[in-house]
Amino acid sequence: MMKRLFVLLFVLVLLAGTASAERTVVTALAAEVNPDHLVSVAADAKVLSYADGKFTIAILVPERYDPEEINALKPGDAIYTEGREVEIRAITEQDGYIVLNPDMEDEVRLFESVDMNYWIMDVNDNTWLELATVTVPASGRLLFLDGINPETGEALLHPAVHDRENLLNLMNAADDPGFAIRNVEVVFDEQGELALIRRFYVPWQ
């Protein structure tokens, strides 16, 4: 009797271990931007400060997921997003979204973006990671394209074109919407210098 009980317990432990091993945790794809080689590249960013001819910026990348991995998810698996692991208890489709844990506190909505990968929808935006904070030299011909009216926050049909001095004046203005709310795209030239900063309208500004 004891021998049979021991064998049964051994089988249960083995099965539990196998089930645990089969659990999948999906993580975001690697970033396409290399913060150590910012040459001839555009990136989303936060502009944090300026001093001595250099800008300190945080490079942002969207959380993107492989569609095959997302479509293979099942209850019991998990997705790693915004620095935490979310266990999946239910999966459904709603209005073109893949919804993990629908109507629960830790609900996650994914949609197929223009790059054919799945991105996470978070209220008005996607979820983003701060890839790195870097201090980079500014090109002598730096351009600032402002897509909003800084006094009202309203979107412009065409962006206003400014130089570095106008940009710095806005960065130092107390009533300006700012440049660190996921409302900026930056462009680096072939020398690795910051050549263009473009600010665009966001509904949360």
DSSP-assigned letters across all residues of 8-63: HHHHHHHHHHHHHHT--EE-PPPPS--TT--SSEEEEEEEEEEETTEEEEEEEEE-
- Token pair for 197: 């900063």
Can you say how many angstroms the Cα of residue 139 is from the centroid of all Cα atoms in its chain? 27
> CA distances (Å), 144 to each of 138, 162, 164, in order?
11, 5, 7
pLDDT at position 22: 80
Residue ranges of the chain whose pLDDT lies below 70: 1-21
Q: For the purposes of burial, counting CB atoms within 10 Å of the CB of 36, is it exposed (0-12), middle (13-18) or buried (19 or more)?
A: exposed
pLDDT at position 43: 96
Q: List pLDDT tens digits, range 26-64.
A: 999 999 999 999 999 999 999 999 999 999 999 999 999
pLDDT at position 21: 54
Alpha-carbon span 47 to 185, nearest angstrom: 9
pLDDT at position 173: 93
pLDDT at position 123: 73
pLDDT at position 17: 46
